[in-house]
Homo-oligomer: A and B are copies of this chain.
């Protein structure tokens, strides 16, 4: 037995979560929303919609659009998006620790005894 959970940020609807966080990191690594989306088997249009929706709910830009130039267009994540991704990672780590601790306190030890007894 274990505790399972899903977490996300909500602002009248999902504003951010594990999937969007992964998308941001892949944009950071590739400088391309198209490549990041493809890596996650997500359509480019769905990825754009996701980014736009998150930007609306968060209230700040996640991507800088670059157009044309020698290497063609691309997407770079903003410093705020980078900070958000890092903070979300740390939040997830703390939540995982707290979940295990709280589960053990109330149920883990007790269920262990109950199912053995």
Within 8 A of B (CB), among A67-108: 80, 83-84, 87-88, 90-91, 94-95, 98-99, 102-103, 105-107
A40 at the interface (CB under 8 A from B): no
Consensus secondary structure, chain A interface: helix
Stretch binding the partner chain, chosen from A2-10, A28-36, A42-50: A2-10
Query: For chain A, which range describes its interface: under 10, 10 to 19, 20 to 34, or 35 or more residues?
Result: 35 or more
Contact partner of A5 among B7, B106, B115, CB < 8 A?
B7
How many identical subunits does the complex contain?
Answer: 2
CB pair B7 A8 closer than 8 Å: no
24 contacts between A and B (CB under 8 A): A1-B11, A1-B15, A1-B57, A2-B10, A2-B11, A3-B8, A3-B9, A4-B7, A4-B9, A4-B10, A5-B5, A58-B111, A58-B114, A60-B114, A83-B110, A84-B107, A87-B106, A87-B107, A90-B106, A91-B103, A91-B106, A94-B106, A95-B99, A95-B102
